[in-house]
Amino acid sequence: MRSLAIAVVATGAAVGLVNGAQAETAKLFFEGDMVRGAQAGAPGPFCVLNNQFKHLEKIVWRFRVLDQNGKPLDKDGLKSLVVELPDGQKIDARYGPHPGGNNPPTDYFWTAIWTIPANYPNGTLVYKAIATDLQGQTATWEPFKRVTSQLQVVAGEIEIKKP
């Protein structure tokens, strides 16, 4: 009987540890996509969904991060949002209105921007987005593990025409 009581206490402690570990993870939900970014002199179309990019092309990841109640989190609700590439590069996202410039905003969300270097290897990249809340807890999002959902760097470079 004594060993049964010890087993029950040990099991309760293990369950408490699991629940405690879950409590340390931020409960955030991601919405997002990936588009071709606008570049002066680059071929378009811009701001259209895409997952295949050539070297020198600008990629824009767009995210909305929601809390557990479905409320979108802005720069006052999240400490940071970072896109991490498989080589360890981290691209900071910024929160703001879209479109930018002199146009009236139609939406607000987080964006991370990266131009693929000319010497970057071709292939499929498994990237992830990491949101950190104001308490320092993190939540990670990754796209589906399908080639058609992953970022693909394809051979060649875009031609940037001078004005």
Task: Give the least confident one: 12-16, 97-101, 113-117, 143-147.
Answer: 12-16
CATH number at residue 90: 2.60.40.1930
Q: Is 116 exposed, middle or buried (0-12, 13-18, 19+ CB in 10 A)?
A: buried
- Tokens standing for residue 20: 């405690």
pLDDT, one tens digit per residue, over 119-132 is: 999 999 999 999 99
In angstroms, rounded to a whole number, what is the distance separating the alpha carbons of residues 47 and 45? 7
Residue 117, in any domain of the structure: yes
Partnered with residue 33 across adjacent β-strands are: 62
* E-strand stretches of 11-161: 29-36, 52-55, 58-66, 78-84, 90-92, 94-98, 107-115, 123-125, 128-133, 138-141, 151-157
* pLDDT reported for residue 24: 52
Alpha helices, DSSP H, located in 41-91: none
Strand order in the sheet with 90-92: 90-92, 78-84, 128-133, 138-141
Residue 163, in any domain of the structure: no
Residue 18, in any domain of the structure: no
Task: Give the least confident one: 49-58, 92-101, 132-141.
Answer: 92-101
In angstroms, rounded to a whole number, what is the distance separating the alpha carbons of residues 67 and 82? 17
Residue 31, in any domain of the structure: yes
Residue 41, in any domain of the structure: yes
Residue 103, in any domain of the structure: yes
Q: What is the pTM of this model?
A: 0.82
H-helix or E-strand containing 14? helix 2-23
Total of domains in the chain:
1
Find the domain containing 64 and state its range.
27-157
Q: Mean pLDDT, to the nearest integer, of 48-52?
A: 95
Q: What angle do CA 142, 143, 145 make, to 5 degrees?
A: 105
